[in-house]
Structure 1
Amino acid sequence: MFSDIPVDVSPMHEGERIRAANMFVELAGPKSIGAELVQVDDSITDGKFEVIGPELSEMTKGEVYPFGIKIDIKGEKLEKELEGVIERRTHDLCNYVQGFMHLNQRDQIWCRVSTEALDSGFKLLDLAKALGILFKEEFPIIEEISVTILTNEEDVKEFVAGAHDIYAARDERARELSDEDVDVFYGCLMCQSFAPTHMCVVTPDRTALCGAINWFDCRASAKMDPDGSIFEIEKGEVLDDVKGEYSNVNEVIAQKTQGETDKVYLHSVFEYPHTSCGCFEAVAFYIPELDGIGIVDRDFSGETPLGIPFSSMAGQCSGGKQVEGFTGLSLEYMRSPKFLQADGAYERIVWMPNSIKSSLEGFIPDDMFDKIATDEDATSVNDIKEFLKDKDHPILERIANLGTDDDDVDDEYSEDEDLVSQDETMGQEFVPVATAPEMAMPMSGGVKVIFKNAKIYAEKVIIKKSKK
């Protein structure tokens, strides 16, 4: 089947990581541009595989190149609503090719070719051929297929622009429903080759972390392949409609994550946040000094207010871990009316890159849009504090009220002359950095310490980058 392809093609190569030391070239990723797109097209030529732009033999070792994967398919039973589902499989199938690494999805793809694969005679045309075979094998309803690899910068730019329009149309359709309108959610296990204890829960109000799969995509996929990696989940009893907790969802998560996770709040970063894989588009993170939440996406190359970049933050919460105060999410979820509703939604957001904020105009409430700081307004916690005070962000009232509901705490500190009054919280020495009815803290050895009705005060919070 793959006799004319000089490297092995098999699921056994899923999860292969190509490090910089073993890399010949990088394709797309954070230093360049790229996208992948699957479309149903009745006018295609079956078996047409081509590379438009430089082949690997014309590239320079260690360089980064633009990259596009254009896949056109035809079949009597194929429908437009299946495009997104089939497209998402590009991630898995590319990783079947030994010496080729594919990460992320849509216009966030990040690929590498190993030096060993190049030495074996591997070409990008071989990738196109392999994908043609694999997609037909994985989806029998695909009767004809053509695959075009793009590496010429101008062609890739045009391709990415067109792909953006198609992605946007898919996302807009998915906003037609809300969680209350359906009895069934969906689970997705596509990323378990990289994150064995992760399961994505996809609802009308919460797209998959990768941003590439919505509720309609999942419905189409589950109908097409009931035994596949995307499957139905009956919601079961609604345990908390604000946090987004459902009895049957918890049971299925426990089953599919090897018991590692047994409870998830779909609309919160606290207590039991949704686990994160590695393909998420952005991370929501808690900023304790402000009792606020920041958002950073993988396109942001600077440091977050916590003093670390996206890559370091992603490493802390990816791999299927459930880390309180951090959760991966899709950018489309930020357009949902249920976006982090248990945490205060946009009234709790204090910082995000300007590129994200600009894309959310019309979805962030009008009275909050100018009150959320961006990387162009502030980069440090102190700068953000000043910005929030200047804009009268509602987080100020939240912080001021944090310590006032507990008389015992007030009495305990009433004689401490160093404690500033609560209405001066933004400048006080002891800041209430966290409060929750239940707060879980993972420890080594699989132990989890749970604080009930916790309220934590700190004189100073220091977050340092790891030197490792």
Structure 2
Amino acid sequence: MNESFKNCDLDLKKLPVDVGPSYEGERIRGPDMFLELGGPKIKFKFELVRVAGKDDIKDNGNFRLIGKDIPEYESGETIPFGIFIEVYGEKVEVELEGILERKIHDIINNIQGMMHLNQRYDIWCRISKADKEKGLKFEHIGIVIMSLLKKHFPFIERVQCTIITDEDSVMEFHKKAVEVYNTRDMKTRGMKDEDIDTFYGCTLCQSFAPGHICIISPERISLCGAISWLDARAAAKINPDGSNFPIPKGECLDPVKGIFTGSNAAIQKYSNNKIQQVALYTIFESVHTSCGCFESIGFYIPEVDGVGVVDRNFNGLSANGMKFSQLAAQAGGGQQIEGFLGIGIQWFYSGKFISADGGWNRMVWLPSTLKERIKDAIPPELFEKIPTEKDVKNIDELKNFLKEKNHPIVKRWEEAEKEEEEEIEIPDIFPDVPFPSVSYTKISFKDVRIEVESAVVKKGY
């Protein structure tokens, strides 16, 4: 453990492992893994970028490690993990923190033998056995992050990196990081899609899902939850050739489902015309594509005609008996699968949250931890009517719970049943009314033999 800063040479050629974009998308499977950092098995993990003052960073390229280093662990271990980056520059604005932070995903995936998934408080990294044998240390990872941040964002004058593996320290930093995330997220509350004429796109995850782009609006945060409309706008201004870019909203084709000519043109371009249309406010038609970095997944439960959500921190079974990983396989990969949708947590607070489908009135199941976390987003009259894994274990129990609590979805059931009853029944016999005269064609059969072994006559339902 070395809690004091050390000034580092940021020359990537001197590292024990190769670094380059050709390694993006590399997967480190279990048998090849030496060390797992964060991920679903670990409660506390994070990555955070803060803008610092000139006097807060004495030298460019400072690094410190709080906790044990890579060689000190046993093969196959999973550990708490945090990355804290501080940057200074006269042109560096606080609004850029989220963009710089999200760039860490790209940067670490440039390291041969390393894998980085997700963002913020959900990061999941793996270091290969080959990297350990080559002598990779956390200092080297910090050097890569600092070097490539300065390369991609030249206006950064000074940068320093802290990597934390000590459990108590990770918890302490994590608490502060969550406060920062919450402050950022509050900035777009109250903004409306109708008030702007430009959406923004993000292609950061295309190394894992080539046909996917995120379309970000004031009322629809990125699926990863890390980039708001304000973040994307700031990023597009300072780096026009980067992962974030403006999308003219264009003509509104469907205000309820959120279909616009501009977002359609963008999805066509970036999916190589595999996808022609995207609807921003629904889980059922022309759904927004997902990569795999989503914070949670919305999924349709046909037995109750409702929508459930599971987040990546939930390790149990959802009401339909599926795990997060199973649902992720259905939702990810840049495909449009109706009834499955990647969701950023902040979207729950938006008035456009599956608004075309009934919004919160359609929500029928949530994990208990997620429900508590977003309780301020749930309409008060619905909070006790939405069950969790503590209330129901299967579809039958889910149906009974919704009935007992008189969830709004029950009214949909009743309306559907009423519509079925009002359908015109087929009469037992044709009424004795004359048919209108019609022209007809006479067909004559010659040398034809028709045999009928049996005939079944059924009454109409």
Q: Same fold (TM over 0.5)?
A: yes
CA distance in 1, matches of 2:379, 2:133: 54
SS of residue in 2 equivalent to 1:191: coil
CA distance in 2, matches of 1:273, 1:305: 22
Q: Does 1:283 align with 2:294?
A: no
Match of 2:186 in 1: 172
Two-structure CA RMSD over aligned residues (Å): 1.4
CA displacement, residues 346-396 of structure 1 (integer Å, 9 cap, x when unaligned) = 110000101111122222111111111111111211111111011000111
CA displacement, residues 29-71 of structure 1 (integer Å, 9 cap, x when unaligned) = 1111210000010111321112110101111111110000000
Gaps of 5+ in 1: 416-468
Match of 2:374 in 1: 360
Match of 1:380 in 2: 394
SS of residue in 1 equivalent to 2:25: coil
Deviation at 1:410, TM superposition (A): 5.6
CA displacement, residues 189-245 of structure 1 (integer Å, 9 cap, x when unaligned) = 111010000010000000000000000001100100112111101111111111111
Match of 1:104 in 2: 118
Match of 1:63 in 2: 77
SS of residue in 2 equivalent to 1:6: coil
CA distance in 2, matches of 1:280, 1:69: 20
Q: Does 1:72 align with 2:86?
A: yes
Match of 2:40 in 1: 30
SS of residue in 1 equivalent to 2:282: coil
Q: Which amino acid aligns with 2:261?
A: S
CA displacement, residues 9-30 of structure 1 (integer Å, 9 cap, x when unaligned) = 1011000000000000101111
Deviation at 1:407, TM superposition (A): 7.5
**Cα pair 1:347 1:394 within 8 Å, conserved:** yes
Aligned CA distance change for structure 1 residues 403 and 264 (closer, same or farther; 3 Å):
farther
| Structure 1 residues 38-49: aligned runs within 5 Å | 38-42=49-53, 43-45=56-58, 46-49=60-63
The structure with the largest alpha-carbon Rg is: 2
Match of 1:93 in 2: 107
CA distance in 2, matches of 1:404, 1:392: 18
**Aligned partner (choices 155, 168, 175) of residue 141 of structure 1:** 155
CA distance in 1, matches of 2:28, 2:48: 24
**Cα pair 1:187 1:233 within 8 Å, conserved:** yes
Match of 1:420 in 2: none
| Structure 1 residues 62-461: aligned runs within 5 Å | 62-405=76-419, 411=425
CA distance in 1, matches of 2:79, 2:376: 34
CA displacement, residues 236-279 of structure 1 (integer Å, 9 cap, x when unaligned) = 11111111111121011101111121111111100211100110
**Aligned partner (choices 5, 15, 21) of residue 11 of structure 1:** 21
Aligned CA distance change for structure 1 residues 261 and 385 (closer, same or farther; 3 Å):
same
Deviation at 1:402, TM superposition (A): 2.0
CA distance in 2, matches of 1:369, 1:317: 26
Aligned residue-pair number: 414
**Cα pair 1:185 1:201 within 8 Å, conserved:** yes
Q: Which amino acid aligns with 1:387?
A: F
**Cα pair 1:211 1:280 within 8 Å, conserved:** yes
Gaps of 5+ in 2: 1-10, 429-461
Aligned CA distance change for structure 1 residues 104 and 410 (closer, same or farther; 3 Å):
farther
Q: TM-score of the superposition, structure 1-length normalised?
A: 0.87
Q: Which amino acid aligns with 1:30?
A: P
SS of residue in 1 equivalent to 2:206: helix
CA distance in 2, matches of 1:281, 1:410: 46
Deviation at 1:409, TM superposition (A): 5.0
CA distance in 2, matches of 1:95, 1:332: 26
Deviation at 1:2, TM superposition (A): 1.2
CA displacement, residues 415-462 of structure 1 (integer Å, 9 cap, x when unaligned) = 9xxxxxxxxxxxxxxxxxxxxxxxxxxxxxxxxxxxxxxxxxxxxxxx
CA distance in 2, matches of 1:376, 1:311: 20
Match of 1:435 in 2: none
Q: Which amino acid aligns with 1:65?
A: I
What percent identity do the matched residue pairs reach?
46
Q: TM-score of the superposition, structure 2-length normalised?
A: 0.88
SS of residue in 2 equivalent to 1:17: coil
**Cα pair 1:317 1:328 within 8 Å, conserved:** yes
Q: Which amino acid aligns with 1:128?
A: G
SS of residue in 2 equivalent to 1:252: helix
SS of residue in 2 equivalent to 1:125: helix
Aligned CA distance change for structure 1 residues 242 and 184 (closer, same or farther; 3 Å):
same
**Aligned partner (choices 11, 31, 56) of residue 21 of structure 1:** 31
CA distance in 1, matches of 2:144, 2:255: 45
CA distance in 2, matches of 1:243, 1:379: 32
**Cα pair 1:403 1:409 within 8 Å, conserved:** no
Aligned CA distance change for structure 1 residues 181 and 151 (closer, same or farther; 3 Å):
same
Deviation at 1:411, TM superposition (A): 2.4
Match of 1:456 in 2: none
Q: Which amino acid aligns with 2:285?
A: E
**Cα pair 1:404 1:410 within 8 Å, conserved:** no
CA distance in 1, matches of 2:410, 2:72: 57
SS of residue in 2 equivalent to 1:375: coil
